[in-house]
Structures are given as structure tokens and as C-alpha cells.
Amino acid sequence: MASIYRRGKVWWLKYYVAGKCVQRSLGTKDAREAEKTRRQYEAAEAIELLPQPSTTPVAEFLQDLCGYWRKTRRGKGATSDISRLRMFFGPVCPGLEYPVRSERKLKANPPSGPRHRDPKTDAYIPVKRLEDLSANMIGSILRERYLAGEISGKTANRYRGVLSSMFTYAQKHHRYICPDRRYRNPVEGVDRFPERPMVITWLNLDQIDEQLKVLEENPQLRAMAAVCIFAGPRREEVVWLTHDDVDLAKAVIHIRAKEVNGVFWQPKTGNDRSVPISGRLVEILSKYVPPVESTWYFSSTDGGRYHPDTFGVKIRESNEAHGLHWSCGDYRHTFGSQLAMKGVSLYKISSLMGNSPDICRKHYAALMPQEMREEVEFAGPPTGGQDPGGGSNLLIQQLLQRLDVLERSQRTQATPPLRIAK
């Protein structure tokens, strides 16, 4: 049986499913409307249409979710999201265990601290069923780490998004039902955290020359940096370039999906694109001799594919040795910023960089202050100053004066003569 009661002026509904009390706000102040909803719930209960509570074991569910993400997500997307799940649940299943680093990576970068997190000091969520994870629990954990300064607002929102995707997958494939009837997904009850605006740094023309001059000792690294500056690809897109992707005769670079040695790769957005390259970049790449024996246009010392992190580390080490602070991300922003200041539309910039127009508007719109100057000139030329429109505004004034004279003459002709009554 269902019953209704009032909290303040809003009516609420209370009923029981499998012996568990469920309370739900009806969002109405009308008693008749609340009574009508109560009868509908009683009718649904009579024919067993009310959703029954679900039971989703955490370990088995997370193992299935990790396997699905590794199979369907591109690049580092699956690895990053799985590590965020590990922050909440810990290594409760094989899919969430800490990755084992190879001996070569351990020798190159020995760990400076404890390899694994200490389960005694790190508070993982002690839940056995997914239904035990509530919105209040998620919000309190994120809020505590955010206020302690352990994570930023952007990171907290990323954790929030990963958990939202997790519950959505549970609803579609594991018949998960949120025990809290106020939300279909518990993350709906967790507020977003404030994020700091992203600070975009980029190089001007003099700094571009300075950066390329510093890298003259390493022709390959100089060519890779020049590609990022003058064509705007991401780090991963640079290291995945093959000989067929770089066409100096037509002055174009193709960033497209490919399969090399049984490994499939595609750009971050999943869309292929071709970027015309400037004469400056053609000149730099003409002096660079790519390895003929390797498939890759920029290969590592053993002839294999360059790793994106290795590319970034070498750029940072070279710049720190010369007192510079720029990174591969700054090179990519340089391409977009220079195009924006040149007056190129944000739509064209987004097409060349493989981003959405909204992202480019967020990053580069402030660099286009002259873009709307013609649109805001609607009040005529300023009085007592120089006419910014030149002769065009003078012609408009003369035309308006002629129209004013014509209108007054028409009103004079249309006025009927006065008649004096006798």
C-alpha cells in the first residue's frame, strides 16, 4: 500500500518494495494530484510493475566494466578512467590491480616512494554491492579531498564523470536500479565543483625562432617541435606519423587512422583530417632526413615508434637546459593562437586542429578582438571625432538626409486643406 504525506507545502509518496521503505517527492502542492499519483502507484503495485531492488556485486561488476572499457575506448582513455575507479574501490578485482612496470621502465625511472598505496591509510569505499554506494557517500569523499587540496575542482569533476559512466553501464547491462528514488543515477545528487579557467600559453614569432634555434643540435627533435608549432597536432598524433602521412610535394600532413604491425590507432576525436603546412615548415622538414628503414617518420633509436611521453620529456629537458619553459602543449596552442590573431575563423581553426568549435572558442576567442568591430557600428560615427568608417559613413548620412526630406514632403502633400465652417 502507498500513502501520501506533506512536507511543508509539497506532497510526498511513501511505499514499500520488498520490505524496504521508499519515499519520493511528488513535486506538487495539490492534494488531488497527489492522491491521483498514489492510486497509480497502488495500481502498478497490484500488477507487479514497480521496479524491484537490484543486487550488483562490486567486484564482478567492475571486472566486467574494466574489460569493456579496455575494448572500446581509445588511447589512454581506458587506463585513465580505470585508475580513477581504483581511487574509489581499490584493487578489488584483477581489472583494477596496479599495472606491473617492465624492467626497462623501472631502470629508467626508479620509483621514488612506495609503489602501491597503503590500504591502511587510504580509505577505499567499503561496499560489497553497487547499491550501497549513495550520492551522499560519493559527494563526501570528493568534497573531503577537494577541501584538503588533494585534488582540484577539475579532477573532482572527472571522478564524478567516471562514476556517472559506471552507473549508466550498470543500468544498461546489469539491471542496476538506484535505491534512492530521487535519482536514476546517484551521481545526479553530487554537485559539480568549481573549476579554474584554463590559462593558455603560446609562443610569439620571436619566441618561435628562439625555440627552433635551441633545438638545432637535435634535428629530429627540432622537426617534431616544428610540426607541432606550424601544424598543431597533438603529441600522440606526431609520433604516429608515417612516411605516407607527410607529403612535402603537396605541402600537407595527413592525420588519419592506421594499423601498423597489428596495432590499430586513430586520432583522439576519431575523425581524420589533412592539415596544409606553411612554407616555413616545408623548409624545416626538407632539411630533416627521416629513417628509411623504419615505418615511422619520427622513429626512436631502435627504429620503433616514438612514445608521446618520451617526446615530451626530451622537449622539457632540452628547454630546461637553456632556461626555457615551453612544452608540446604550448606548441599546439601557438598554432591556434597565431591563426586566431591572423583573423582565421574559429570553425576553420577547429577543423585544422581536430577540436570542436566550442573548445576553440573557449581557448582562442579572446585573441580575436577585432572580429566583431563591423557588427557593433550601428549608432553612426562619433561626434567631434574622426569617422572610423571613412567615406562609407558619409554616404549613409547623405542618404538618410534625402530620405528625411522626401518623407517630410510627402507628409505636407498628404495633409488636407483646412475648411472654415460658415
Per-residue model confidence as pLDDT tens digits over 296-309: 999 988 888 988 88
Residues of the chain with pLDDT under 50: 47-48, 102, 105-106, 111-121, 389, 418, 420-422
Regarding pTM above 0.85, the answer is: no
> Is 326 within 8 Å of 317 (Cβ atoms)?
no
Per CATH, 58-103+118-189 and 205-366 having the same topology is answered no
Q: Give the per-residue pLDDT at 200.
A: 85
pLDDT at 116: 42
What single DSSP character describes residue 174? Answer: S
CATH of domain 58-103+118-189: 1.10.150
Say if residues 66 and 81 touch (Cβ distance below 8 Å): no
Instruction: List the domain boundaries for the chain.
Output: 3-46, 58-103+118-189, 205-366
Predicted pLDDT at 26: 85
User: What pLDDT does 222 receive?
Assistant: 95
pLDDT tens, position by position, 143-164: 999 999 989 999 999 999 999 9
Does residue 306 sit in helix, strand or coil?
coil
Identify the pLDDT of residue 119.
41
Locate 340 and state its grid cell.
586566431
Q: Which residues in 115-129 are b (16+ Cβ under 10 Å) and which e?
A: eeeeeeeeeeeeeee
What is the spatial distance between Cα 97 and Cα 110, in angstroms, rounded to a whole number?
20
Output the pLDDT for position 183: 82
Give me the count of residues in the chain. 422
Contact 45, 73 (CB under 8 A): no
Give me the helices (H) in 47-148, please: 58-72, 77-89, 103-108, 135-147
- Residue 335 has a pLDDT of 93
The architecture that CATH gives domain 205-366 is Orthogonal Bundle (1.10)
CA 130 to chain centre: 28
d(CA 221, CA 204): 20
In whole angstroms, give the CA distance from residue 166 to residue 61: 10
Type of residue numbered 108: A
* Phi/psi of residue 418, nearest 5 degrees: -75, 140
Kind of pairing between the strands at 10-17 and 3-7: antiparallel
Going by C-alpha positions, the residue among 56, 53, 17, 49 that lies closest to residue 169 is 56
> CA 84, CA 96: separation in Å to the nearest integer?
10
In this prediction, residue 162 carries a pLDDT of: 95
